[in-house]
Amino acid sequence: MSPTTRLCGVSFLFLPLAGCNRHQSALHAFGEEAAGVRSLTVLLVIGAAVILAAMLLLMWAAVRAPEGRLTLAGGERLILWAGGIVPAVLLLALLAYSLPLMQPRAPDRADLRIAVEGEQFWWRVRYDAANAPSVTSANEVRLPVGRTVVLRLTGGDVIHSFWIPGLAGKTDMIPGRENVMTVRATQAGRYRGQCTEFCGLSHALMAFDVVAMEPAAFDAWLAVQRRPAVSADPAGRRLFAQHGCGGCHTVRGSGEAGLIGPDLSHFGSRHTMAAGILQPTEANIAAFIRHPEHTKPGVRMPSFPHMPDTEARALARYLGSLR
C-alpha cells in the first residue's frame, strides 16, 4: 500500500468527526437532560467494549486450549454464568441506573412555558410567562440558564420533530396534539436545533437558533420583545404595507397582523433568518424576499420577482431595523 493510499484510508476513518461541532451536538451538552443521555451513552459504549473484549479473550483461550482441556460441564458452566447470570445482573443494574434518568423533571406552575409549533418550514415560538402577556417570535428559542422551562410542542401542518441535541432528546410535533418536554439549560451560549422528521421539500433547511442566556439578561430580552416594534423608517413600513407582506406577517405596533408566516416584530434582533439557514444581512434578506424558493424549495412564501432590487433592499433595511 502506498503512503498516499494509507493516508487516504486513515483520513477516511476520521470522516465522521467532520460532523462534530459544539453548536449542534449531543456530545456537547448544555442542558441537564442531554447530559443524562450522554452519560448513559458513554456507560453503554464502555460496557459494550468490555463485553466484546471479554468475548474475544474467551474465544482466543478456547481456540488455543490443548486437546481434551475443554469439557461439557465446563461449557455448561460458562453458558450459565456468561450467558445467564452476568447479563441478568448487568441489565438489572443498567435498568436501575436509567429509570431515574427517564423520569421527566416535575414542572412548577410558575415555570416559563415556551410553545413551539412546527410549520413548513419554520418555527412559531411563543413565550408564556406567569402573570405577564405572551410574546410571539419565530425561528429562535431563547432559554434562561438554571431555570426549568416547559416546552409545549405541536405541529401546525404535518409532523415535525423538535431536536436541540445539546439540550435534550427529540420530541415529535404532531398536529392536534401537544407533547410536553421539561428541560433545564446549564450553560449560556448560542446553539442550534433542527427538524428531525421529514416534513417536505425543505425539511433539511428547517433549523433554528437556540440562545441560552443568564436569567437577568433573559428577563431583559423578554421585556424588550414584549414591546411593539419600533422603527424610524416610515418609507420601509409603507413598502411593507404596499406589497401586502402584512397579509402573512405580523409587525406588532405597525398594524400588520398576518399569522401565516413568521412574526417579524423584532426580526432585527435575531441572529439568523429563514429558520436558521441564512445570515440576516441586507443582501440575504433582499434576495430572500424576491426569490425565497431559491433558498428553500417548496417554501410557503410567494416570490416577488418583479420587485426592484432597490425596494427589496429598502424592505431589508426596514426589517433589520426592527429590534
Q: Which residues bind ligand HEC (CB under 6 A)?
A: 121-122, 138-139, 243-245, 247-249, 260-262, 273-275, 285, 289, 296, 299-302, 304, 315, 319
- Kindly tell me which residue out of 160, 184, 237, 296 binds Cu ion, with binding defined by CB under 5 A: 160
Q: Name the 3-class secondary structure at 140.
A: strand
Tell whether residue 205 is a contact of Cu ion (CB under 5 A).
no
- 89 contact choice in ligand HEC, Cu ion, none (CB below 5 to 8 Å, kind-dependent): none
Number of residues in contact with Cu ion, rule: CB under 5 A? 4
Give the DSSP H/E element, type plus range, for residue 54. Answer: helix 32-64
- 266 contact choice in ligand HEC, Cu ion, none (CB below 5 to 8 Å, kind-dependent): none
Residue pair 116/192 in contact by the 8 Å Cβ criterion = no
Cβ 183 to ligand HEC shortest distance, Å: 23
Burial of 221 (0-12, 13-18, 19+ CB in 10 A): middle
Tell whether residue 206 is a contact of Cu ion (CB under 5 A).
yes
- 289 contact choice in Cu ion, ligand HEC, none (CB below 5 to 8 Å, kind-dependent): ligand HEC
Compute CA distances 314 → 106, 275, 286, 309, whole Å.
Answer: 48, 22, 8, 9
Tell whether residue 199 is a contact of Cu ion (CB under 5 A).
yes
Cβ 207 to ligand HEC shortest distance, Å: 10
Edge to edge, the sheet with strand 171-173 lists: 140-144, 207-213, 189-195, 160-163, 171-173
d(CA 173, CA 165): 16
State whether the Cα torsion 181-153-31-221 is positive or negative. negative
Tell whether residue 151 is a contact of Cu ion (CB under 5 A).
no
Q: Which residues bind Cu ion (CB under 5 A)?
A: 160, 195, 199, 206
